[in-house]
Amino acid sequence: MGKIAIIYGSSTDNTASVAEKIAAKLSGKDVSVIDVAKLKSADDLKDYSGLILGTSTMGLGDLQDDWDGFVSQLKKADLSGKTVALFGLGDSASYSDTFVDGMGSLYAAVKDSGANLVGRVAASDYTFDASTAVEGDEFVGLALDEDNESDQTDSRIAAWVDQISASF
């Protein structure tokens, strides 16, 4: 079984806490939870066959700041042979036009990397106006809203980990 890295960027710890919850659900697998601020180059990814990448959205539709240094490395990385899943946190009420856009930025960085991307979820389960993290009628990864729908977070994580687990 390959090693999995859950890599997150988080301003007020919501995404960090979700990263830990996802890791706990992947019990029995070899999982490391890593703050993206600690990563230097794409070389840091070479030991992992699975990557689960998470970010909150800050500013107006921006990737969480700690991703800024690493996302350019991610764009250049050859991720062929790796499995990648994405998760994003946002606020669908106050930022309904840019809901989880940060996850859209992560998707843009990895979609041509050669990785096997897994973990889309139905957008119809959420109420928002626009998101760059939507393709067709699905989010490109798990969307979570700790500001308005925190009561759904644990069940959304559980269902999503069930969905992706066999791919890792």
Please identify, using beta-carbon distances, which residue of 90 and 141 lies nearer to ligand FMN. Answer: 90
Separation CA 39–CA 60 (nearest Å) = 25
With binding defined as CB under 6 A, does residue 83 bind ligand FMN? Answer: no
Residue of 147, 149, 152, 165 interacting with ligand FMN (CB under 6 A): 147
With binding defined as CB under 6 A, does residue 10 bind ligand FMN? Answer: yes
Token digits of residue 104: 């859209």
Q: How many CB atoms neighbour CB 46 within 10 A?
A: 9
Binders of ligand FMN among 60-79, rule CB under 6 A?
60-61, 64
Helix (H) or strand (E) holding 74: helix 68-76
With binding defined as CB under 6 A, does residue 57 bind ligand FMN? Answer: yes
With binding defined as CB under 6 A, does residue 157 bind ligand FMN? Answer: no
Separation CA 67–CA 84 (nearest Å) = 16
Kindly state the smallest distance separating residue 10's Cβ from ligand FMN, in Å: 3
114 φ/ψ sector (left φ>0, alpha ψ -120 to 50, else beta): left
Separation CA 93–CA 65 (nearest Å) = 22
Binders of ligand FMN among 102-141, rule CB under 6 A?
none
- Chain residues in the site for ligand FMN (CB under 6 A): 10-15, 56-61, 64, 89-91, 95, 98-101, 146-147
